[in-house]
Amino acid sequence: MKWSAYNKGNFFTHVKRVIVILANKARILAREIAKQLGSLLQRQRITSDRRIKTTGSDRSSIGFRQLLRRLGIVTSARLSETIRETKEAIKYDVEFNKRAIMESSQHVSTEITINRRNLNEILAQQLREEIGIDCQAPEIGSLQVEHKRYYSYNFPMSPKMTTNRGCIIVKGKRFNIIQVIQRN
């Protein structure tokens, strides 16, 4: 199977969307865990305060250590579960996208035609079609005017770097030629 640039871009865009969705779900799950653990810590603090008042000895450090240990175990278990679910979801999406790309590639032609055109040719065609001006686009560098400096270097705001993009020869107007240049 041949992979075209369109299929690869579409695949990676879809994977990126899936990762963003999973990250949002993980953030929501983390908030829920934080709420549950916050209430668990609050209950543990209240219980340890009651023990200190009733017994008179300070056993809160032992309860707090146990609470931290339990908190670590619960957080680790939920995090492992979330990571496992995320991996499964990504694997499923990758397989689904592979199947979708294979099915779509059987129906779409894999030939890609690239037609390179100069900017002056594109502009000349637009002038002919949209405005109706009789014009033509010669090859870049074929006219003498293209080899001269475009701007005066005496003025500080004039650009020093310019690129010749060709000329357009216009017929039947007060001007004969349009030079297309790119600044900087």
Give the pLDDT confidence score for residue 30 in this predicted structure: 80
pLDDT at 130: 92
- Considering the chain, what percentage of its residues have pLDDT values greater than 70? 77
Q: Indicate whether 108 pLDDT > 60.
A: no
Region of 154 please: left (phi>0), alpha (psi -120 to 50) or beta.
alpha
Contact 120, 166 (CB under 8 A): yes
Please tell me the predicted confidence (pLDDT) of residue 46. 77
124 pLDDT band, cuts 50/70/90, is very high
pLDDT level of residue 160 (50, 70, 90 thresholds): low
Structure token digits, residue 126 = 């637009």
The answer, yes or no, to whether residue 179 has pLDDT greater than 80, is yes
Under 8 Å between Cβ of 180 and 168? yes
- From CA 151, how far away is CA 161, in angstroms rounded? 10
Helices and strands, number each (H, E), in the chain = 3, 3
pLDDT, one tens digit per residue, over 67-97 is 777 888 888 888 888 888 888 888 888 888 8
Residue 57 reports pLDDT greater than 60: no
Q: Give exposure, 119-148, as e/b (b: 16+ Cβ within 10 Å).
A: bbbebbeebeeeeebebebbebeeeeebee
What is the pLDDT of the chain when averaged over all its residues?
Answer: 77
26 within 8 A of 11, measured Cβ to Cβ:
no
Q: What share of the chain is helix, strand, coil (3-state, %, to 5)?
A: 65, 10, 25
Which CA distances in Å does 179 have to 100, 123, 124? 49, 11, 11
Residue 28 CB neighbours (<10 A)? 10
Least confident span in 12-21, 49-58, 132-141: 49-58
Say what the pLDDT of residue 95 is.
85
Query: What are the domain boundaries of the chain?
Result: 5-107, 119-183
pLDDT of residue 135: 92
Taking the complete model, does pTM exceed 0.85, yes or no? no
pLDDT of residue 36: 79
